[in-house]
């Protein structure tokens, strides 16, 4: 990968995503988290590309830019669902400035556009590179930090024991369903399932702790 291209893309991505800190209900840390997530996605995308034999640099660059649609101040949840399509519009002129061909730019933009809900507002092809952008995003979102984040968002520590038990059971079932999904490449699918297996193992351990927080009924006469 060419260092100049990566550094220019990183600087562009950082400048765009730091705009988040200026919007209502946001702060600098929220913007920094989105930047950190984008860098992790770029590394995952490049790793997939390297193992699958397609363009590692373009996968990394597209990964860095996949969330720059968040630089827009959205009003509704539906607007947020469009951040991939808006991100492709923002990325397109920048990618052309980097010197990529029109076909290369469109493939990268298509991957950025579809990474939220598999829909774009322009024609494109589900190439391994395009699919890898969304795959890398999902792989990062279901890694170790997401296990922590899910507990925090549910205020898990403060839930009554029975609600903790329900949370673990429901999330376990959902992750088992997700594990059956196949991603765009064999490499991405293996990485995806590895992340889910980590979370499922964690939830199983959490379930065991919950069960041992209650003394089960002891039959009459036991221990005499």
Note the pLDDT of residue 74: 78
Burial of 6 (0-12, 13-18, 19+ CB in 10 A): middle
Q: What is the pLDDT of residues 24-45, one digit of tens each?
A: 677 788 889 899 999 999 999 9
As given in the structure block, the two tokens for residue 152 are 């925090």
pLDDT above 70: residue 224: no
What is the value of pTM for the model shown? 0.89
Q: Is the pLDDT of residue 51 over 70?
A: yes
- CATH hierarchy code of domain 3-138: 1.10.3210.10
Distance CA 205, CA 209 (A): 6
Give residues with Cβ within 8 angstroms of 59, minimum separation 6. Answer: 42, 45, 46, 48, 49, 129, 132, 133, 136
The predicted-structure confidence for 57-86, as pLDDT tens digits, reads as follows: 999 999 999 999 998 887 777 778 889 999
Q: Mean of the per-residue pLDDT values for the chain?
A: 92
User: E strands, the chain, where?
Assistant: none
DSSP assignment, residue 215?
Answer: P
The single residue listed with the structure tokens 């830019």 is: 65
pLDDT digits (tens, 9 = 90+) for 82-127: 899 999 999 999 999 999 999 999 999 999 999 999 999 999 999 9
Cα distances (Å, whole numbers) of residue 61 to 6, 54, 117, 160, 170:
7, 13, 20, 45, 36
pLDDT digits (tens, 9 = 90+) for 143-198: 988 888 899 999 999 999 999 999 999 999 999 999 999 999 999 999 999 999 99
CB 199 within 8 A of CB 175: yes
């Amino acid at each position: 990968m060419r260092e100049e291209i990566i550094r220019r893309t990183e600087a562009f991505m950082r400048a765009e995503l730091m705009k988040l800190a200026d919007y209502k209900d946001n702060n600098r840390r929220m913007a920094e988290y989105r930047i950190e997530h984008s860098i992790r996605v770029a590394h995952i995308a490049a790793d997939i590309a390297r193992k699958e034999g397609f363009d590692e640099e373009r996968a990394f660059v597209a990964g860095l830019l996949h969330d720059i649609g968040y630089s827009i101040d959205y009003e509704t949840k539906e607007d947020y669902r469009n951040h991939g399509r808006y991100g492709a519009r923002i990325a397109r002129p920048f990618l052309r400035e980097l010197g990529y061909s029109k076909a290369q730019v469109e493939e990268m933009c298509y991957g950025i556009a579809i990474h939220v809900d598999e829909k774009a507002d322009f024609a494109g092809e589900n190439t391994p590179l395009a699919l890898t952008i969304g795959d890398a995003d999902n792989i990062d979102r279901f890694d170790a930090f997401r296990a922590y984040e899910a507990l925090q968002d549910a205020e898990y520590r403060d839930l009554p024991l029975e609600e903790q038990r329900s949370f673990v059971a429901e999330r376990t079932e959902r992750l088992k369903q997700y594990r059956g999904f196949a991603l765009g490449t064999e490499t991405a699918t293996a990485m995806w399932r590895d992340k889910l297996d980590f979370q499922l193992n964690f939830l199983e351990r959490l379930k065991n702790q919950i069960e041992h927080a209650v003394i089960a009924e002891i039959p009459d006469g036991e221990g005499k």
